[in-house]
């Protein structure tokens, strides 16, 4: 496992970082604010990253730590603005149904407690239970049992929200 | 009326597409320059704080230990000199 350049690391992981920031951003914080904080923290920690674990695992760990920490501080004043990062809405508006589903999914994930939210986010990122266990410090068995319940809860919530039941 | 149920695979698909609502543009060179600017003062501040704490403790530590050491060295020296004096006196005999 080699160590990618910082540029490669950002390019390869910006999508997954932003997805997670969207779930953890709560007013007055925007996902963009969290994203920038994550980039700063990745930069600070990059020198110490020795490439012993998978890059993605390390990125998830840093991202989740930043999102949880900043949300606990509940302050938008201290977030740093990096002008080199810009966010543009996609030119074509997404399909209305897809947008509704996405909003419903985010709302339902946000309604979960902190640990369940972390587990489900990592699971949706397609991480095996072993890696989720390494990031969260929980056991694989515990995660498997939790995921059964969370999946059910999330499906119920989304089906209610999008009115398909 | 039940028409369609969202299943887990649908949720995963929605999740995967959730980053596609915005284009994220990163000017890497500019970013790294500004990160160096922004992070360094923060780190300098931390280092300064650490140094201030170390200095404070060192002053306390230094004064406390030197008194103790001075006393014990004085005792040791007086012991040595008395022994040496005894040895010299023995040679003079």
| Contacts (Cβ under 8 Å, ≥6 apart) of A103 | none
A2 and B CB contact within 8 Å: no
**Residues of chain B contacting residue A11, judged by C-beta atoms under 8 Å apart:** 26
Q: Provide the 8-state DSSP code for B18.
A: G
Task: Report the distance separating Cα A104 and Cα A110, nearest Å.
Answer: 10
Q: pLDDT at position B75, please?
A: 85
Q: Decide if A44 contacts B39 (C-beta within 8 A).
A: yes
Q: pLDDT at position A34, please?
A: 92
Q: Choose the closest CB to A85 out of B17, B31, B43.
A: B31
B44 and A CB contact within 8 Å: no
List the structure tokens of A125.
């990122």
Task: Indicate if ipTM > 0.90.
Answer: no
pLDDT in tens, A68-125: 888 777 655 566 778 889 988 876 655 777 778 888 899 999 999 999 999 999 999 9
List the structure tokens of B12.
């995963």
CA of B50, closest CA in chain A: separation in Å?
Answer: 18
B15 and A CB contact within 8 Å: yes
pTM of the full predicted structure? 0.72
Q: pLDDT at position A76, please?
A: 52
CA of B83, closest CA in chain A: separation in Å?
Answer: 57
Q: pLDDT at position B62, please?
A: 63
**Inter-chain residue contact A16 with B27, CB threshold 8 Å:** no
List the structure tokens of A8.
């490669």
User: Among A105-114, A151-160, B22-31, B41-50, whose mean pLDDT is lowest?
Assistant: B41-50
């Amino acid at each position: 496992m080699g160590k990618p350049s910082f540029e490669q690391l950002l390019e390869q992981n910006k999508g997954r970082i932003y997805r997670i920031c969207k779930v953890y951003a709560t007013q007055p914080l925007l996902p963009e604010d969290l994203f920038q904080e994550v980039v700063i923290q990745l930069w600070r920690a990059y020198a110490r990253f020795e490439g012993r674990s998978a890059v993605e695992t390390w990125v998830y760990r840093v991202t989740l730590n930043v999102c949880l920490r900043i949300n606990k501080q509940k302050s938008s004043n201290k977030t740093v603005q990096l002008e080199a990062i810009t966010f543009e809405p996609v030119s074509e508006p997404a399909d209305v149904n897809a947008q509704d589903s996405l909003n419903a999914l985010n709302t339902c994930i946000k309604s979960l407690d902190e640990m369940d939210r972390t587990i489900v986010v990592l699971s949706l990122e397609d991480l095996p239970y072993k890696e989720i266990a390494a990031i969260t410090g929980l056991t694989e068995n515990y995660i498997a049992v939790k995921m059964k319940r969370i999946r059910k809860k999330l499906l119920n919530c989304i089906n209610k929200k999008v009115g398909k039941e | 009326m039940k028409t369609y149920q969202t299943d887990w695979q649908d949720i995963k698909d929605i999740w995967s597409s959730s980053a596609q609502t915005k284009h994220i543009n990163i000017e890497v060179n500019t970013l790294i320059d500004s990160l160096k600017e922004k992070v360094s003062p923060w780190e300098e501040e931390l280092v300064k704080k650490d140094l201030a704490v170390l200095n404070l403790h060192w002053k306390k530590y230094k004064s406390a230990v030197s008194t103790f050491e001075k006393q014990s060295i004085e005792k040791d020296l007086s012991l040595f000199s008395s022994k040496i004096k005894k040895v010299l006196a023995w040679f003079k005999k």
